[in-house]
Amino acid sequence: MKFALSEVGRHWWKGNLHSHTTISDGRAEPAAMVEHYRDAGWNFLAITDHRTFGFHESLQGDAFLVLPGLEGDINPDVGTHHVVALGDASWREKHGRPYQSPQAGENVGQALLDSLGAEQALTMYCHPVWSRREFADIENLQGFSLFEIYNHGCEYGNRTGLAVLYWDSLLRRGRKVWGTAVDDSHSMEGDSLGGWVMVRSDHLTTDGVLAALRAGHFYSSAGPEILEWAVDGDEVYVQCSPVCSIHFVAWEPHGRSVHAEPGQRLTEAVYRRRGGEGFVRVECVDSKGRTAWSNPIFFAEA
Ligand SMILES: [Zn+2]
């Protein structure tokens, strides 16, 4: 088996898949949010206001893409699920329309995913820890391809942004869901510019970015860069910006961590497969404790 993230597209595009503006409960206008992200070096932003279809084509520039989006939720008094939907060109007519979430019934979380999936959307399950969801509450939900493993706004606001353990639990059950780091920004302050995806694709277009997200051709980060993520036969390889630790997380056996000597930094590491791994993914952690997460590479024989 041979795979190299750098070879699935010609460019890296940096983006935030989850944000709010004055259209819902955010504090900045859509145009100001776009300018904020563009000025900070981001290439794209999904504007995902609560229960409102967003198609902000007029805010796009030559080198900046605004993805169509919205965030749906269910009534908090029956426990909450939040799901971001990323739309495509078919959303042009829907801009500004309210989205009606399903609000009652036995399996309302699944109903929400089904309802958003029916809107020609790529769906992302959001911040399960902030939502106070146990793993059992999400284990059987189907129909989402993306899963927030790091929600910066939740982490910044009340330390509920990290959901990597839930992600691994899904992966160990054979679910092929890709992990995302996002901002869920409601302002241009501390809840923004802290979690992003780096998408590998030829073109900075809605179709190009959505196709790469569906295929898992991206990594997530709150700091470090992953320059290459590859498998060649039994060797899994990562190259990254200087970090203190590189962790290969596998199912199963137990993976392996590599640590830099004191005062030194690592910029690459290799994991040699022992056989039987269902997947291997990598986490690169820098001197400030910030992480970059690759998506898993799946192996068929497990
Ligand atoms: Zn949100």
Distance 195 CA to ligand 1 centre (A): 13
Q: Is residue 286 part of a domain?
A: yes
pLDDT score, position 105: 75
For ligand 1, the distance from its centroid to the CA atom of residue 73, given in whole angstroms, is 9
Do 205 and 263 share a domain, yes or no? no
Element (DSSP H or E) covering residue 136: helix 135-138
**Same domain (yes/no): 106, 189:** yes
Query: What is the separation of C-alpha 246 from the centre of its chain, rounded to a whole number of angstroms?
Result: 20
Q: What is the pLDDT of residue 187?
A: 97
Q: Rounded to the nearest whole angstrom, what is the distance from the C-alpha of residue 26 to the centroid of ligand 1? A: 9
Domain count, the chain: 2
Shared domain for 100 and 150, answered yes or no, is yes
The domain of 230 spans 226-298
**How much is the pLDDT for 300?**
79
Distance 123 CA to ligand 1 centre (A): 13
Any idea what the CATH number is for the domain that residue 59 is in?
3.20.20.140
Cα within 13 Å of Cα(162), Cβ side? 9
The residue among 178, 199, 221 that closes a domain is: 221
Instruction: Indicate whether 1 pLDDT > 70.
Output: yes
- Alpha carbon of 194 to ligand 1 centroid (Å): 14
**217 part of a folded domain:** yes
Distance 109 CA to ligand 1 centre (A): 16
Collapsed DSSP state (helix, strand, coil) of residue 53? coil
Distance 161 CA to ligand 1 centre (A): 12
**Of 221, 254, 283, which marks where a domain is finished?**
221
Tell how far the Cα of 244 is from the centroid of ligand 1, in angstroms.
31
Among all chains, which residue has been given the structure tokens 């992200």? 37
**Could you tell me if 161 and 282 lie in one domain?**
no
Give residue 253's pLDDT band: very low, low, confident or very high (50, 70, 90): confident
**171 and 289 in a common domain:** no
CA distance 252 to 279: 8
**Is residue 256 domain-shared with residue 135, that is, in the same domain?**
no
- The predicted-structure confidence for 86-117, as pLDDT tens digits, reads as follows 999 999 999 999 999 888 777 899 999 999 99
Are 55 and 129 within one domain? yes
The whole-model pTM stands at 0.97
pLDDT, tens digit, for every residue of 42-91? 999 999 999 999 999 999 987 899 999 999 998 766 568 999 999 999 99
- Residues 185 and 195 sit within 8 Å (Cβ to Cβ): no
